[in-house]
Structure 1
């Protein structure tokens, strides 16, 4: 596999990350060091992680993967994590060493010495580094902290090393890093000044004057498909937790198969109102010797019924021992009552019943050990899952943790919609936050409201840090375009150390949509996901449905996490845009035609929130071409369903 080349013509070095762990090979969510290493390497922008894999601590599996990546894929760098300690199963160095053509003791020594400055326990790691053909291989510990320290110790010298084993002098690497960018590192020259500043980020410096801002976005325009692909790489399922079975379980995804602990029914039960009988007795007149009702306090259901006797019984009542069938009350006649008229003394049975007729046997609905709910199943409010779990005695279940979402509006001009003061000239009511909070609630996700923050770098940074400490996913609106007060991207990159994976998307509306991650921000090593949505109200809503909601569903454990796509027939002509468009529409089912019809909500400008009112779908329209400028009425198009069908 050839090295990757960025849009600016600079080589990016290809990397494979191999996690060696018995535990993680059974449950990939346990692998924290692999994703962390990926973020660390790609944050340098000269590395592109093309291969990731998890294998158990098995000699052959480790070697087979490394040989494939070296000899066939021809990666520039392979980093293994795990299996370098003193444990019985720690064999990674022993598996790697026979594959090496040259050893790199300097790289190994640098990793160990840097770690020893932080903890004496680094002496208990046994890393090894070397070269196979034109691939550098290095092993790092399996712990999140240890792997991070080892990788960061040598990451700056690795491009030079790779260039050398390719037969170069290393000067090529230095000159490229000086004069160009590689997926994010670039050398920015101001035409009006002769001074030069080198940065490791794309955004304008926070301290720079407006006269030095870039006139064109430095972020490559990518397709919606590519944007979703980048998000998917970082949208990892959240940890598994144990929760009680109650109404709060709605919207959770099961992380285990759930087994019935009790049979249903737990006793032989009548399926109707009537009389428990001995079937062989047949029709005739019989004394009523008791009553069995479905109350848990029956008077006589525990007494054995003898031939020639019957017991009055209600639906769901326990069938007394000795009874072999139940006769419905409609097939009987009262013969004699008690003197006070309150009790049945004798009843005539008119029909012959079979053994077990009208009786639900123990466990006939569900037997002990039956799988009543399956792993990755969504617990809904309408599917009866909670009722099933409760009926078989399940008190708690394991589910994937549901993400906490944070929503923040930015901009000096933005005013809370509840503000009672008269709206000043140039100010706008904040419709983004209320709309996105409503969508989150309607789709079953917990959302925290972080209010509005003005265009002040320090205040934005403080608010972002506070919000990120409380949520798994943070959504901001505004501040992501090219204005002098669009500060979100530079603050994310320069103040918070975030990695911006994309900053422009080829779509209408929502072109400035930004997606970033902050690796290792959480104590458990989980990445923080940040979506910077445009400030225009329609753009914010559309991009929330397109990017944020699927992400929330995916990290919650949804098996089908993308929103459903339907096909509908246009009821009016729609002119196309140079960018692929997500057109707001109302889909309804026409019973006469037997098809779905899509009606545009009208003028689609991104500031016109009315185009979202009542819409239940986003029509996925192609970009305009010379050959195709509009879609005519009657054309069938794909539509993403975001609400209920009309």
Structure 2
């Protein structure tokens, strides 16, 4: 507020050739007004706006109109014309008008934008005071203009009050802390990005790739979590489902409804016959007489006009066809006899009806007898399948669009300079490994109907890996990597996530076999609206069996949660061991197995063989993971264990 308690006056000037010709194309004015409303603390009156072309004279004349009169505007925000294009002249126009420059505001805006994209340095912002008015130039993109204004808005009332002639000594009484309190800012709350709430010494951190060999960890700094604790962290940190509108077409299969769906139309929408036969009109006496009647109408189950049925007439009608207006009931064809036909022999002319027991509404499906308009046909949280009838139900009542939970887009990445595409021609050179994890994980994610982006193979170089992940975070909601999560100096995923991307590693080791080095992290990323959202990264071990086990155990529940699918993860059943299976004495084990049903109705499990983490062959024929406890010796044949089903049950033994 100004010193007298009145609101400060702000004006927005958009500089754009396109918007000056068609103001409806401008997106900046409403977004900037929204920023004033959200962050302005009810201190601003933003009632003056104008759109002008890229013309120095026009820009200057508009600004002078607002600054040089008897009641000058306190703050002018311009948007557009600050780039390097030849027509971008806003900085030149404003610089010629400014009496005193304000480079600190320019620096603050650039610093904030640079944290989002290096291309922020391609803008040419100007800030300063003309007479008693503060002027700031912002980029022309709505996103960039919003970021720049958010960076400095809370500071501007103080600047505008000073520029209007207030006494500085009085304004500054109480020092900087008082000014920060009045503005609602502090050194800890300036918009420089997300902030951590713990000290580095109080949390584990990954290796520093730039540190010398004597400063590398000799053992993991991350505590070994139980599987249940890891799953709980994943549930807590997985972003909430995003709601979007989706057209009702075949692509909607697999989606989960975010809102109840009400029928837009009744089904059936007309009175329809449930048999092949003849529609009749019951006389006013209330009693239908058997006998011979002329066939005057033919009604098929197809669109078209049907004329009114009169007393003493009948209409030939097929199953599902609409009853003609005036019809009361339908006589089954079995209760009739053909008496005569038309001269050309193409149609029935007269029919004898053999019964007089016909009652009103007999063999008729009434309007809305299946679904009435306005009825709730599907509830929030229900899935839409193309085989279970939900899609057909939506289509039958004319639903054009529904609210669903957006299914996350998944990116799959392999890491390591030793990794080569699995289909590369020629023999392997010493140290090379074919990339089996990436195609396997892509296939696994797609089998659950998620959209997957193939991110390829990333190099074991810090800058290369960082850029690959940054690019992936722009287009993916979840990133799955494999490899690079152990303790070697080339295992860079944890350091890159933590030190370069500003992410949080929620766990880096799990007490299980296989998959101990599994890592789960979230990274803050700005969305298109300029707000920070968390993206999820699962860094799975490089050993093939470990990667597949951990996808099913950890990644799938997170994907389900983001897609609104419940219950999350693989279904759990009880299975009877069909053979003795050795336990691991050090860690609980997720043992690859084949589960089948037998004639007694129980599920039986047998091992698929050797279980070492690199043995992808143990997945051949596997449809389940047995949740084996740690311990000495064997679990005996006939004992029951929990099993997580990855696929269809085996055939029933006879």
2:262 and 2:150 map into 1 onto residues whose CA distance is 50
2:278 and 2:194 map into 1 onto residues whose CA distance is 84
Contact 1:267 1:362 in 2 (8 A): yes
Matched, 1:518 2:551: no
Bigger Rg over Cα: 2
Contact 1:409 1:432 in 2 (8 A): yes
Matched, 1:556 2:563: yes
- Match for residue 609 of structure 1? 616
Contact 1:545 1:642 in 2 (8 A): yes
Give 1:218 shift: 0.8
Matched, 1:340 2:344: yes
Contact 1:252 1:379 in 2 (8 A): yes
Give 1:313 shift: 0.3
Runs of at least 5 residues in structure 2 that lack an aligned partner in the other structure: 1-37, 44-111, 113-147, 159-179
- Match for residue 254 of structure 1? 257
- Match for residue 434 of structure 2? 429
Once the two structures are superposed, residues 495-517 of structure 1 have per-residue CA deviations (whole angstroms, 9 ceiling, x without a partner) of 11111111000001100000111
1:281 and 1:610 map into 2 onto residues whose CA distance is 76
- Match for residue 544 of structure 1? 551
1:537 and 1:380 map into 2 onto residues whose CA distance is 32
Give 1:613 shift: 2.0
Aligned residue for 1:469, secondary structure, equals helix
Alignment of 1:307-386 (within 5 A): 307-351=311-355, 352-386=357-391
Aligned residue for 1:637, secondary structure, equals strand
Give 1:459 shift: 1.2
Match of 2:247 among 238, 244, 248: 244
Give 1:181 shift: 3.4
- Match for residue 32 of structure 2? none
Q: TM-score with structure 1 length normalisation?
A: 0.70
- Match for residue 16 of structure 2? none
1:635 and 1:484 map into 2 onto residues whose CA distance is 44
Aligned residue for 2:479, secondary structure, equals strand
After superposition, the Cα gap between the structure-2 partners of 1:570 and 1:454, relative to the gap in structure 1 and judged at 3 Å, is same
- Match for residue 189 of structure 2? 149
1:516 and 1:615 map into 2 onto residues whose CA distance is 29
1:308 and 1:553 map into 2 onto residues whose CA distance is 63
- Match for residue 276 of structure 1? 279
- Match for residue 588 of structure 1? 596
Matched, 1:439 2:444: yes
Aligned residue for 1:221, secondary structure, equals coil
Contact 1:84 1:141 in 2 (8 A): no
**Once superposed, what is the RMSD of the aligned Cα atoms?**
2.9
Matched, 1:395 2:361: no
Give 1:85 shift: 4.1
After superposition, the Cα gap between the structure-2 partners of 1:566 and 1:153, relative to the gap in structure 1 and judged at 3 Å, is closer
Matched, 1:405 2:410: yes
Match of 1:499 among 491, 494, 504: 504
Runs of at least 5 residues in structure 1 that lack an aligned partner in the other structure: 1-81, 88-113, 126-137, 160-176, 185-201
Contact 1:566 1:640 in 2 (8 A): yes
1:153 and 1:336 map into 2 onto residues whose CA distance is 88
Q: TM-score with structure 2 length normalisation?
A: 0.69
1:463 and 1:637 map into 2 onto residues whose CA distance is 42
Once the two structures are superposed, residues 14-59 of structure 1 have per-residue CA deviations (whole angstroms, 9 ceiling, x without a partner) of xxxxxxxxxxxxxxxxxxxxxxxxxxxxxxxxxxxxxxxxxxxxxx
Give 1:588 shift: 1.2
After superposition, the Cα gap between the structure-2 partners of 1:140 and 1:392, relative to the gap in structure 1 and judged at 3 Å, is farther
Once the two structures are superposed, residues 179-215 of structure 1 have per-residue CA deviations (whole angstroms, 9 ceiling, x without a partner) of x93223xxxxxxxxxxxxxxxxx21211123454211
User: After the TM superposition, which of the residue ranges 463-472 and 505-514 deviates more from structure 2?
Assistant: 463-472
Contact 1:228 1:547 in 2 (8 A): yes
Contact 2:507 2:521 in 1 (8 A): yes
- Match for residue 3 of structure 1? none
Moved over 6 A (4+): 114-117, 138-142, 145-148, 151-156
Contact 1:326 1:358 in 2 (8 A): yes
- Match for residue 163 of structure 1? none
- Match for residue 153 of structure 2? 120
Q: How many residues align?
A: 482
Contact 2:40 2:153 in 1 (8 A): no
Contact 2:596 2:604 in 1 (8 A): yes
- Match for residue 296 of structure 1? 303
Give 1:438 shift: 0.5
2:337 and 2:186 map into 1 onto residues whose CA distance is 83
- Match for residue 201 of structure 2? 181
Matched, 1:565 2:582: no
